[in-house]
Structure 1
Amino acid sequence: MSNATDRAYELGFRTVDTEYADRQLPVEGTVPSWLSGALIRNGPGRFEFGGKRATHWFDGLAMLRRYGFADGTVSYTNRFLRTDAYAAADTGHGAAEFATGDDSFRRPLRWLRSLGPPEPTDNATVHVAQLGEHFVALTEAPRRIAFDPVTLETRGEFRWRDDIPEHLATAHLQVDPNREETIGYSTEFGLSPMYHFYRIPNGRAGRRHVATVPAAGPGYVHDCSITESHIVIVETPLRIAMAKALVPWTDGFLDLLEYDEAATTRFIVVDWDTESLAATLETSPFFTFHHVNAYEDDDELVLDLVAFDDDQIVRALTFDALSEDGFAAAPDGRFVRFRLHPGEGRVRRSERYDGGMELPTVPKPVRGRQYRYAYAQATDRKGANGLVKLDVERGTATEWWERGVYVEEPRMVRRPGGTAEDDGVVIATALDTKQERSMLLVFDAETVVERARAPLPHAVPFGFHGRFFPAV
């Protein structure tokens, strides 16, 4: 590994001991005065539990990070979620159940024997969302933790008051700014596994069932897309083999995943006006975590996502793999466009950008609509992660890189009153291995020129996802 890669692993997966409250950050450059609100991100902050270390990035203890913007200033708050997992961490029990092994990972075995769901982890470390007046931290286990959006103090568990089954939940709730609804789905295990789709009206904290669709496997489904009239999930050949929970050496959820190279990848399309299955289409096998965007084009659905040839990316994020080669061991995701024709059952695939990328986002007003620009983490250079802006109409890209700097998930924020799709800024956190600390970066969304950076007082472990809340 290069020295920068060595430092990225050491700093990016090192436990944080200090929590800061409303710490004002020094700003180099200029943060636009119109940028007002907060970027709230989620991710692991602790990797040791009672003398044991987690074995996978996904198994760290949840810590929220808040970056507040007002009148050109930036403030920083970080706080661990005070959950059952947090309370049990010092006893040696892992915070999550993805790969790190201990007795708590026998829960799938108990589920099979009792024919009832186990008590899942409350280590909500993946994403955040606003549900009515509630701000919640999310993971793929069906437990959600409410928190204060200003102080990040834990407010307790958020529970749905409905009977929609969920043994796995989505952490990627999709907000449609046009319909003013939020869309989600859950996975139900059993002899006849199912996917359940639901909708949450804007300003409400309750959900309503939309449709139930049979699952094959079931597959591991991480994200979804919305268009004007449809919801799309991608069921990959990475199957959840619940029968493997009976094997005594099964440690965690990772051991239950099997990639079936002989299986197809399925696109499941739900019509959210008729609240029914519109189509199931199949194509050659591939794996995906994250969608870019989707929209309707006459009789076709255009679905853009980050695709991998297989599930190697999941295994490449174990600490054994990362400690040897850093992120260089992880395959690069590619921007791929699928054109789905539900009426004819046809799927067409095309490569839209040949650079490595992950953690994509598009400007909020064009989500679920035809669009031109997408922003993502650029991943295909050693010793750094960059920022890439894709022009999906022209098939071109503009990139920003700095040696030794590892950019995380970007978020595009439109300038109030702006009319152009890329009129605004892109904000992203990054790890600066040279300075041995993290920082908040602000870019011009049109040119991808850096406008400002605000160094943090410490190095924050690599996180996953976040949202910008202008009203916070």
Structure 2
Amino acid sequence: MTRAAPPSGQPWLAGLATTLDTEHDYRPRVEGRLPAALRGTLYRNGPGRFDRGGLRKRHLLDGDGMIQAFDFGGDGVRYRNRYVRTAKFLEEQQAGRYTRPTWTTRAPGGPWRNAGNRIRSQAGVTVVHRNDRLYAFDEVGQPYGLDPHSLDTLGEQALGPAGVPLDFKAHTKTDPNTGDWALIAFQHGPRNHIHLVEHAADGTLRRHQRIVSPRASYIHDWFLTEHHALILLHPIELSLPAYLAGLRSFTESLHWDAARGNLLLVIDRSGQSPVRVLEAPASFMWHSLNAYEQGGTIVADFVGYAAPDHFIGERAAFRQIMLGATGEARHPGLLRRYVIDPAHRRVTENILSERNCEFPIVDPRAATRAHRYAYVTTAPGPSVFHSGLARIDTAGGRADVIDLGPRTHLGEPVFVPDPAARDERGWLLSLGLDGDSGTSFLGVFPSDALADGPVARIWLEHPTPLSFHGYWQSA
């Protein structure tokens, strides 16, 4: 934990890691023209509080979860933000200081206040709307539920098998064929296990598999196809003794060892076939794009890094941003493709684009099916703070790009299909930060004509911290 310090290097960039104290509810100014067919709510989740009691978090992933909502209707747009009232948030709010360690920031008080696994959910990474409820996920514990209309916190939501405490990962998958909701959890111990959980569309538990993991690894995202789940295990080593003794934070206990390569688990969703473990070249994945089955092979696209220097290490960009500096990020995220032959235990990797990118998404109608386009954030050079969006044609790598300049940041795009279009047309909604005005905006970009720029910008009255992931719910 560090004392709050003024930003350095690129002060405007520190807006991405600035605490938003006020919970707002107002109608922001709209520049341009909103598409008439854009009706619904964009929910976003990310860290919102980095400072308390004169102390500042040390890493971008360490902030308390905050839900933001943009409601699109016939009378314009309404903006709201509410903190997720997790047990950790309420405990520290009452104390007026930080009491719990987070990813990289240890709790004040030395090793004894950090010994054991004391990290608790901040519910600040992803948000999913299901059965008239929002689910806010972190990387530990169960998700927190929220009322999608009032954004009131409803407490932890029990998912998975009854009586089995699981640390669910932030990313979940929905099977468009059945409506099933799939989740994974990683369980560390003398033997490491991965749990694959699937809930039916009505919320009932459909399947649960407990799978021995050949490696203790940090997982953030994964792949789902019609019949398989794919889990990518990076060569990240976790020093549990140092972490559990309270001598190091979680991220300070991680070490990248590229020589060990990746392991890819191919899991039969029905549980009728044994799990296959395949080897692949080392790369670090934050986010998958999509995966689908093609004859006897599986195609899986994702953004991968040769090394995660932006994530772990003293000079990592995710740490230096807390001081308003760009930090280290020598290895760009590249759009990669695995062609997987499970029968012959073979994985072939191809680079689909040399463009630096992150936050890959597909048109949601293409999930688990063959796709052509990847929609990503992008920037010149290896920076992880991006100023543009791109639509990359996976068939040849050609990209349609919009870049808003070096003093703009654009976050993860969310694809909203045009209900009147039969082809892949719609809008990309991206929450940005304008370095000149110091305020944030939501850009509305035509998915099939990015180079034309946004058709509208919704200007907030303040900066909003970096929002990791979003979810569109049509009206």
1:60 and 1:96 in contact (8 A); partners too:
no
Pick closer, same or farther for the CA change 1:150–1:27 going to 2, 3 Å: same
Give me the whole-angstrom Cα distance separating, in 2, the residues matched to 1:425 and 1:156. Answer: 33
Is residue 46 from structure 1 mapped to residue 39 from structure 2 by the alignment?
no
Residue equivalent to 1:390: 392
Pick closer, same or farther for the CA change 1:350–1:164 going to 2, 3 Å: farther
Pick closer, same or farther for the CA change 1:246–1:172 going to 2, 3 Å: closer
| 1:470 corresponds to which of 437, 457, 474 | 474
TM-superposed deviation, 1:131: 3.8
Pick closer, same or farther for the CA change 1:80–1:168 going to 2, 3 Å: same
TM-superposed deviation, 1:277: 3.7
Give me the whole-angstrom Cα distance separating, in 2, the residues matched to 1:163 and 1:237. Answer: 32
1:165 and 1:196 in contact (8 A); partners too:
no
> Larger deviation: 386-395 or 255-264?
255-264
TM-superposed deviation, 1:106: 6.2
| 1:438 corresponds to which of 424, 430, 440 | 440
Q: How does 1:182-193 map to 2 (within 5 A)?
A: 182-193=181-192
| 2:97 corresponds to which of 87, 92, 95 | 92
Give me the whole-angstrom Cα distance separating, in 2, the residues matched to 1:93 and 1:74. Answer: 35
Give the residue type in structure 1 aligned to 2:343: G
- Report the 3-state secondary structure (helix = DSSP H, G, I; strand = E; otherwise coil) of the residue aligned with 1:169: coil
Pick closer, same or farther for the CA change 1:360–1:106 going to 2, 3 Å: farther
| 2:260 corresponds to which of 258, 263, 266 | 263
Give me the whole-angstrom Cα distance separating, in 1, the residues matched to 2:355 and 2:246. Answer: 42
Give me the whole-angstrom Cα distance separating, in 2, the residues matched to 1:328 and 1:318. Answer: 9
| 2:67 corresponds to which of 56, 64, 67 | 64
Pick closer, same or farther for the CA change 1:238–1:326 going to 2, 3 Å: same
Residue equivalent to 1:20: 24
Residue by residue, what CA displacement relative to the aligned partner does 1:29-48 show, whole Å, maximum 9, x if unpaired?
11111111111001111111
Residue equivalent to 1:371: 371
TM-superposed deviation, 1:185: 0.8
Residue by residue, what CA displacement relative to the aligned partner does 1:261-309 show, whole Å, maximum 9, x if unpaired?
3312011111113454442111122211110111111111111111011
Give me the whole-angstrom Cα distance separating, in 2, the residues matched to 1:75 and 1:464. Answer: 20
TM-superposed deviation, 1:333: 0.6
| 2:107 corresponds to which of 102, 116, 120 | 102
Give the residue type in structure 2 aligned to 1:406: H
Residue by residue, what CA displacement relative to the aligned partner does 1:200-239 show, whole Å, maximum 9, x if unpaired?
11131x4343422211331111111111211111011113
Calculate the aligned-residue CA RMSD, in Å: 2.4
Pick closer, same or farther for the CA change 1:173–1:246 going to 2, 3 Å: closer
TM-superposed deviation, 1:122: 3.0
Pick closer, same or farther for the CA change 1:56–1:4 going to 2, 3 Å: closer
Give me the whole-angstrom Cα distance separating, in 2, the residues matched to 1:366 and 1:188. Answer: 31
Residue equivalent to 1:355: 355
1:46 and 1:62 in contact (8 A); partners too:
yes
Is residue 303 from structure 1 mapped to residue 300 from structure 2 by the alignment?
yes
Give me the whole-angstrom Cα distance separating, in 2, the residues matched to 1:319 and 1:286. Answer: 21
Residue equivalent to 2:137: 138
- Report the 3-state secondary structure (helix = DSSP H, G, I; strand = E; otherwise coil) of the residue aligned with 1:11: helix
Structure 2: 5+ residue stretches without partners: 1-6
- Report the 3-state secondary structure (helix = DSSP H, G, I; strand = E; otherwise coil) of the residue aligned with 1:42: strand
Pick closer, same or farther for the CA change 1:161–1:175 going to 2, 3 Å: closer
Residue equivalent to 1:114: none
Give the residue type in structure 1 aligned to 2:85: R
> Larger deviation: 89-98 or 457-466?
89-98
- Report the 3-state secondary structure (helix = DSSP H, G, I; strand = E; otherwise coil) of the residue aligned with 1:409: coil
Pick closer, same or farther for the CA change 1:318–1:378 going to 2, 3 Å: closer
Give the residue type in structure 1 aligned to 2:437: Q
TM-superposed deviation, 1:65: 0.5
TM-superposed deviation, 1:189: 1.4
1:133 and 1:203 in contact (8 A); partners too:
no
Residue by residue, what CA displacement relative to the aligned partner does 1:35-91 show, whole Å, maximum 9, x if unpaired?
111110011111112211000000011111101111372211011112222221454
- Report the 3-state secondary structure (helix = DSSP H, G, I; strand = E; otherwise coil) of the residue aligned with 1:305: strand
Give me the whole-angstrom Cα distance separating, in 2, the residues matched to 1:33 and 1:417. Answer: 11
Residue equivalent to 1:174: 173
Q: How does 1:271-290 map to 2 (within 5 A)?
A: 271-290=268-287
- Report the 3-state secondary structure (helix = DSSP H, G, I; strand = E; otherwise coil) of the residue aligned with 2:104: coil
TM-superposed deviation, 1:136: 1.4
The percentage of counterpart residues that share the same residue type is 26
2:372 and 2:394 in contact (8 A); partners too:
yes
TM-superposed deviation, 1:150: 2.2
Give me the whole-angstrom Cα distance separating, in 1, the residues matched to 2:421 and 2:9. Answer: 39
Give me the whole-angstrom Cα distance separating, in 2, the residues matched to 1:36 and 1:95. Answer: 40
- Report the 3-state secondary structure (helix = DSSP H, G, I; strand = E; otherwise coil) of the residue aligned with 1:63: strand
With structure 1 as the length reference, what TM-score do the two structures score? Answer: 0.91
- Report the 3-state secondary structure (helix = DSSP H, G, I; strand = E; otherwise coil) of the residue aligned with 2:411: strand
TM-superposed deviation, 1:135: 1.3
Residue equivalent to 1:345: 345
The alignment of Structure 1 onto Structure 2 pairs a total of residues equal to 458
> Larger deviation: 127-136 or 323-332?
323-332
Give me the whole-angstrom Cα distance separating, in 2, the residues matched to 1:203 and 1:441. Answer: 34
Residue equivalent to 2:4: none
Residue equivalent to 1:336: 336
Give me the whole-angstrom Cα distance separating, in 2, the residues matched to 1:275 and 1:93. Answer: 47
Give the residue type in structure 2 aligned to 1:359: F
1:124 and 1:138 in contact (8 A); partners too:
yes
Give me the whole-angstrom Cα distance separating, in 2, the residues matched to 1:94 and 1:459. Answer: 27
1:321 and 1:329 in contact (8 A); partners too:
no
Pick closer, same or farther for the CA change 1:405–1:395 going to 2, 3 Å: same
Pick closer, same or farther for the CA change 1:227–1:248 going to 2, 3 Å: closer
1:427 and 1:440 in contact (8 A); partners too:
yes
Residue equivalent to 1:10: 14
2:139 and 2:169 in contact (8 A); partners too:
yes
Residue equivalent to 1:454: 458
Is residue 125 from structure 1 mapped to residue 135 from structure 2 by the alignment?
no
TM-superposed deviation, 1:8: 3.4
| 1:31 corresponds to which of 34, 54, 57 | 34
Residue by residue, what CA displacement relative to the aligned partner does 1:321-363 show, whole Å, maximum 9, x if unpaired?
6637416646321101110100011111111010111111111
